Amino acid sequence: METELNDKQLQIMQKALEVFAEKGFDSASVRDIAQRADVNVAMISYYFGSKEKLLEAIFLNNTNSMKGKIENIIHSRAHGPMEKVDLLIDTYVNVIIENRTFHSLMMREQVLLKDGPLYTYVRDMKRRNRSLIEVAVKAGQKAGIFQKNIDVSMLAITLFGSVNHFFSNYKFLCEDFKIKPTDGDFDIKAIEKLKGHIKIMFKAFLTYGISNKK
């Protein structure tokens, strides 16, 4: 399962990811992918077995890649609990920006996931992300600077939901903010707005009812 990927395979996967994200998995034809990757159509079946398994390979590859990046947070010699939460927010947003094409694809296809490899990859990634929040929250509570009444699952929904919604609705947001949506890239100011808002909101919530005596 964990076989090495040669250059041609990676090339196909990269172009396929683009086409999948652009048109959706079902509308993306293997001929289109093959053409953009500059290979023969038969190479997709030859290397991956099927279009479906090509998607699986892409999911496995990208969820693993994101896993590595997110888990760097753990090894950061971190400061206080609040700073850890801020770091988590920054990192999550940055990772999504780095993997924006895959993230867009995943957002679209996750709704239809039944049991199967894709479901497992996505579920495990979500679990890992959630548990990072849990660790940070419990640390803050232990230190006495976070309130006790915190539902971590719901907090995770707020964080990931807000960030995902921001990127999913970026096209609509550009109209609100009067930003020209430069193809593929996000407006830095908008990103900072997002990060700042979530940080303040989380701080307000996490410290709700905690007196500020130093």
Instruction: Check: CB of residue 198 under 8 Å from CB of residue 162.
Output: yes
Task: Lay out the site mask for DNA across 153-182 (x = CB under 7 A, - = otherwise).
Answer: ------------------------------
Tokens representing 91 are 């990192």
Distance, CA of 206 to CA of 129 (rounded, Å): 18
Q: Which is nearer to DNA, 25 or 166 (CB)?
A: 25
Residue 62 backbone phi and psi in degrees, to 5: -80, -35
The answer to whether residue 23 forms part of the interface with a second copy (CB under 8 A) is yes
Q: Which is nearer to DNA, 24 or 196 (CB)?
A: 24
Nearest to 187 by CA among 178, 197, 200: 178
Q: Which is nearer to DNA, 38 or 83 (CB)?
A: 38
List Cβ neighbours of 205 (8 Å cut-off, separation of 6 or more): 150, 155
Q: Which does 112 bind (CB under 5 to 8 A by kind): DNA, a second copy, none?
A: a second copy
Tokens 């976070």 correspond to what residue? Answer: 146
Site for a second copy in 172-211 (CB under 8 A): 172-173, 175-177, 193-194, 197-198, 200-201, 203-205, 208
Q: Give the interface size with a second copy as a residue count (CB under 8 A).
A: 47
Instruction: Check: CB of residue 102 under 8 Å from CB of residue 69.
Output: no
Interface stretch with a second copy, choices 34-42, 61-69, 87-95, 171-179 (CB under 8 A): 171-179
Q: Which does 205 bind (CB under 5 to 8 A by kind): a second copy, DNA, none?
A: a second copy
SS3 labels along 147-214: CCCCCHHHHHHHHHHHHHHHHHCHHHHHHHHCCCCCCCCCCHHHHHHHHHHHHHHHHHHHCCCCCCCC
Instruction: Check: CB of residue 119 under 8 Å from CB of residue 113.
Output: yes
Binding stretches for a second copy (CB under 8 A):
23-24, 26-27, 104, 107-108, 110-113, 122-123, 126, 130, 149, 151, 153-155, 157-158, 160-166, 168-169, 171-173, 175-177, 193-194, 197-198, 200-201, 203-205, 208
**Residue ranges in contact with DNA by CB under 7 A:** 6, 8, 28-32, 39-46, 49-52
